[in-house]
Structure 1
Amino acid sequence: MNKVLITADRVIAGPADQVTVDGAVLVESGVIASIGTAAELDASVDTQVPRLRCPGATVMPGMMDCHVHLAFDAGSDPISAVATADPGELSTAMVERAQQLLAAGVTTVRDLGDRDGLTVALRSSIDSGATVGPRIVAATAPLTPHGGHCGFLGGEVTTDDNIRAQIARNAAAGADVIKVMASGGALTPNGPRMWEAQFTPRQLRLIVEEAARYSLGVAAHAHGTETIGHCVAAGVRTIEHCSWRTAKGIVYDPAITRRIVDNDISVCRCVSGDWQLFLEQMGPERGKAMVEVIQEMREAGVRFIAGTDAGVPGARFGDYVGMLEFFASLGFENGEIVDMATVNPAHALGLSDTGVLAPGMRADLIIIDGNPLIELGALRRIRHIFTAGRPVTK
């Protein structure tokens, strides 16, 4: 279908306050050709152009998941599942996981760590039309010290020369972004603890500078409060997790947050659909502290971007909206949450052709039953999905 006129009760063009009641979107050759009221476009568009009429529905930009691991299986031991998997079987599984995300209305994903460049290969297959799936922004192998967090993915570095060489390899492999494991993480046994720094401030600056040589931004996995500060000073583009941990518990630093806002750094909190169980496991005191910190960051003006960490234990690929519901539980307004899933990620990832519906933009859009600005659960009721103007069969 090369051309189609879509009409619905409303069109959320993006940001979320840009709504056309009884709206329409004309899609042609993979891009948005026009947007306006249904009456205007129905009258001006040739009657031979197919109409997709969606009463009771909302047309909006496709959603984005800014933190996934397509090579992980969301099981209890994803490390073994990745490290020992046959490349062919793993590639097939990654296609299925990507399609689960697409079926949930996610038309763009940022994969922040895989092995052997498999995500780049999948990206190429999707871009060529050979495989159906969401648009992929790929990091390839994340940088980490020897024995560090996720070292099994092949990005271990020790010296400055190692750092330069690994970034060069990632860029040559087709990376869209450089991922650095700036602090430890819970996934890697016997690795540094979550709050412990894995790189010095100087090394982080080197990573950002080297990435810039290839016109690539840096996404920093950073749990520790001190490490978050180092990442901000180094000039990373996004901070993943940003959980403000120390050996003594959560310690929030408003001064660092001010620099996050001033430097236009986006934060991906990496919340999966099983967040209620996660809060329960944290316990009342730590869970309360985590929630309060997110609320303080919101009040300070931090730009949040949606990410599920899909693939790590318990983070399922098909439950994207569950993550959004976490923010609703904290008092975020529905419009804020829709922007967190659309406009904000496009800005953070440097994708100037998506995130909103406007003439000339890539036709990544979803059509859902109901109005997500009133009922967030409407995002689960997807009627139609278009990626680069191609309708997706669910």
Structure 2
Amino acid sequence: MSTTTFTVTGCTIVDPASGQAIPGALSVSDGLIVATPDTVRATVDGSGLFAIPGLIDMHVHATSDPHGRTASKWSEITTTTMTLSAVDNLATALANGITTVRDLGAPRDVGYAVRAAWSRELFVGARPFTSGPVITAMGGHGHWMGVESEGPAAIGALVRRNVANGSDVIKLMMRSAAHRVELRPEELGNAVAEAHWLDVPVAVHANFSERSIDAAVEAGCDTLEHGFAISDSTADVMSKQGTALCPTTTALRSVVEHPQRWVRPGGKELVERAVRQFPEARRSFERALAADVTLIAGTDAGAAGVAFDALPRELRTMVEWGATPRQALAAATSAAAGALRHPELGTLRPGTPADIVLLRSDPLTDVSACAEVEAVIQRGRVVRLDSPWRAQGLEPHPAPGTVLTPRS
């Protein structure tokens, strides 16, 4: 990868894992953070700015359009439309300091194809990790963007197929308010065991049902998605076995605050359930926090009204619900990177990818600072710089969303 060697000078370097913030400089060469570059050819003036690792949104649907511009039914949305939506969504994420996303569900092979296009540097956007199609019960939640299990004996083959196709994570679906059919505990157990045998982590959608959440945690999932009905005992199990919670409060608040976006065929029951269970969702988060459950931040971007710049709002809600600013920041950086099994993406140490976000205020004091982005660097390339005077000698790089021309 050909990039400019440069140094971000005079910034405050924030380590979300430890909560330390130390004045210093960050040197970048060939897409990596380095201890000392061979030659400093360019600089970014970081004075007054706070450097954090690139933010990570751990729950998105990159091929979905949160603005409702595409067809109303999944069956009517073409692969081309989903791909165009993904490029736009990943560009929006990157422009807002979200350098990496975990894409938890896309029909057929579209998610894999978008990731391949990003890897081949065909467009500028957030780095996608993908589950590929979700795995659900026959007629279960998410069947329109997944594959359906025919029972405990068959589900292992679905896991193997997804892994063979390149899934970074396996996504399993339990019930929703509108789709009551769900995987049985033995199906969950077989799927998790198969994925872990293949050394692939498992994320499980389980939202309003305590029974579904308990089954997901008992099966040994790596991350619990939504988790709006976690008991004290289940929180303790999650903490002991290392199951992380991705609470997706942004999507839940979207349902409660903008119900008209969600009332569609099958949506009325979801809205009623979300409004009724919103207080319990907060109590569930507080139980997880008290039990020292690992928190990871995800927005469910792509859902109705949840855009790909929503991660700072997710972090603010975490703090409103009892987390410290450092815990919230770690949930979108170091803890998220750990859950991805790519810890190098959650730190600014030498030898790690140069994914750097420069903020105008201290996120350890107020996590809302994550919305005050001054500059974004991904893979050693400055893709956003709001104050051009800060850069000296830097090669320009196309903005997020740009479809790149072949390199000479």
The one-letter code matched in structure 2 to 1:242 is G
Q: For 1:66 and 1:222, how far apart are their aligned partners in 2?
A: 15
Q: For 1:171 and 1:47, how far apart are their aligned partners in 2?
A: 42
Q: For 2:112 and 2:378, how far apart are their aligned partners in 1?
A: 18
Residue in structure 1 matched with residue 117 of structure 2 by the alignment? 125
Q: 1:157 to 1:26 in 2, by over 3 A?
A: same
Residue in structure 1 matched with residue 328 of structure 2 by the alignment? 337
Does 2:171 correspond to 1:170? no
Residue in structure 1 matched with residue 292 of structure 2 by the alignment? 301
Tell whether the 8 Å contact from 1:334 to 1:374 is kept in structure 2 after alignment.
Answer: yes
Per-residue displacement from partner, 1:36-55 (whole Å, max 9, x unpaired)?
xxxxxxxx756642111122
Unaligned runs of 5+ in 1: 35-43, 245-251
1:74-223 correspondence to structure 2 within 5 Å: 74-75=66-67, 80-181=72-173, 183-186=174-177, 189=178, 191-192=179-180, 198-223=182-207
Does 2:281 correspond to 1:290? yes
Q: For 2:70 and 2:196, how far apart are their aligned partners in 1?
A: 31
Tell whether the 8 Å contact from 2:100 to 2:128 is kept in structure 1 after alignment.
Answer: yes
Residue in structure 2 matched with residue 256 of structure 1 by the alignment? 234
Does 2:295 correspond to 1:317? no
Q: For 1:8 and 1:99, how far apart are their aligned partners in 2?
A: 28
Q: 1:320 to 1:235 in 2, by over 3 A?
A: same
Residue in structure 2 matched with residue 38 of structure 1 by the alignment? none
Q: For 1:76 and 1:125, how far apart are their aligned partners in 2?
A: 24
Q: Residue 277 of structure 1: CA displacement?
A: 6.7
Residue in structure 1 matched with residue 6 of structure 2 by the alignment? 4
Unaligned runs of 5+ in 2: 260-271, 385-398, 400-408
Q: Residue 276 of structure 1: CA displacement?
A: 7.2
Q: For 1:179 and 1:79, how far apart are their aligned partners in 2?
A: 24
Q: 1:126 to 1:184 in 2, by over 3 A?
A: same
1:353 is paired with a residue of what secondary structure?
Answer: helix
Among residues 361, 376, 379, which one is paired with 1:370 in the alignment? Answer: 361
1:351-366 correspondence to structure 2 within 5 Å: 351-366=342-357
Q: For 2:303 and 2:69, how far apart are their aligned partners in 1?
A: 9
Q: Residue 312 of structure 1: CA displacement?
A: 1.1
Q: 1:381 to 1:8 in 2, by over 3 A?
A: farther
Tell whether the 8 Å contact from 2:5 to 2:37 is kept in structure 1 after alignment.
Answer: no
Residue in structure 2 matched with residue 387 of structure 1 by the alignment? 378
Q: For 1:391 and 1:83, how far apart are their aligned partners in 2?
A: 38
Per-residue displacement from partner, 1:55-81 (whole Å, max 9, x unpaired)?
211111001100001122124698845
Q: Residue 314 of structure 1: CA displacement?
A: 1.9
The one-letter code matched in structure 2 to 1:364 is D
Question: More displaced, 269-278 or 316-325?
Answer: 269-278
TM-score, normalised relative to structure 1: 0.87
2:227 is paired with a residue of what secondary structure?
Answer: strand
Q: Residue 198 of structure 1: CA displacement?
A: 1.2
Q: Residue 8 of structure 1: CA displacement?
A: 3.5
Tell whether the 8 Å contact from 2:5 to 2:30 is kept in structure 1 after alignment.
Answer: yes
Tell whether the 8 Å contact from 1:78 to 1:312 is kept in structure 2 after alignment.
Answer: no
Q: For 1:305 and 1:50, how far apart are their aligned partners in 2?
A: 35
Q: 1:47 to 1:146 in 2, by over 3 A?
A: closer
Does 2:228 correspond to 1:243? yes
CA RMSD, 1 decimal: 2.3
Q: 1:288 to 1:164 in 2, by over 3 A?
A: closer
Structure holding more strand per residue:
1
Q: 1:316 to 1:16 in 2, by over 3 A?
A: farther
Tell whether the 8 Å contact from 2:231 to 2:287 is kept in structure 1 after alignment.
Answer: no
> When the two structures are aligned, how many residues end up with a matched partner?
369
Q: Residue 167 of structure 1: CA displacement?
A: 1.4
Residue in structure 2 matched with residue 28 of structure 1 by the alignment? 29
Tell whether the 8 Å contact from 2:235 to 2:287 is kept in structure 1 after alignment.
Answer: no
TM-score, normalised relative to structure 2: 0.84
Q: For 2:360 and 2:109, how far apart are their aligned partners in 1?
A: 37
The one-letter code matched in structure 2 to 1:156 is E
Q: Residue 278 of structure 1: CA displacement?
A: 2.2
Residue in structure 1 matched with residue 402 of structure 2 by the alignment? none
1:164 is paired with a residue of what secondary structure?
Answer: helix
Tell whether the 8 Å contact from 1:179 to 1:219 is kept in structure 2 after alignment.
Answer: yes
Tell whether the 8 Å contact from 1:179 to 1:221 is kept in structure 2 after alignment.
Answer: yes
The one-letter code matched in structure 2 to 1:52 is V
1:303 is paired with a residue of what secondary structure?
Answer: coil
Tell whether the 8 Å contact from 1:79 to 1:152 is kept in structure 2 after alignment.
Answer: no
Q: For 2:309 and 2:66, how far apart are their aligned partners in 1?
A: 11
Residue in structure 2 matched with residue 37 of structure 1 by the alignment? none
Tell whether the 8 Å contact from 2:227 to 2:284 is kept in structure 1 after alignment.
Answer: no
Q: 1:24 to 1:285 in 2, by over 3 A?
A: same
Tell whether the 8 Å contact from 2:7 to 2:44 is kept in structure 1 after alignment.
Answer: yes
Q: For 2:221 and 2:251, how far apart are their aligned partners in 1?
A: 27
Q: 1:104 to 1:82 in 2, by over 3 A?
A: farther
Tell whether the 8 Å contact from 1:141 to 1:155 is kept in structure 2 after alignment.
Answer: yes
Q: Residue 318 of structure 1: CA displacement?
A: 2.1
Residue in structure 2 matched with residue 41 of structure 1 by the alignment? none
Question: More displaced, 324-333 or 356-365?
Answer: 324-333
Identity %: 27
Residue in structure 2 matched with residue 39 of structure 1 by the alignment? none
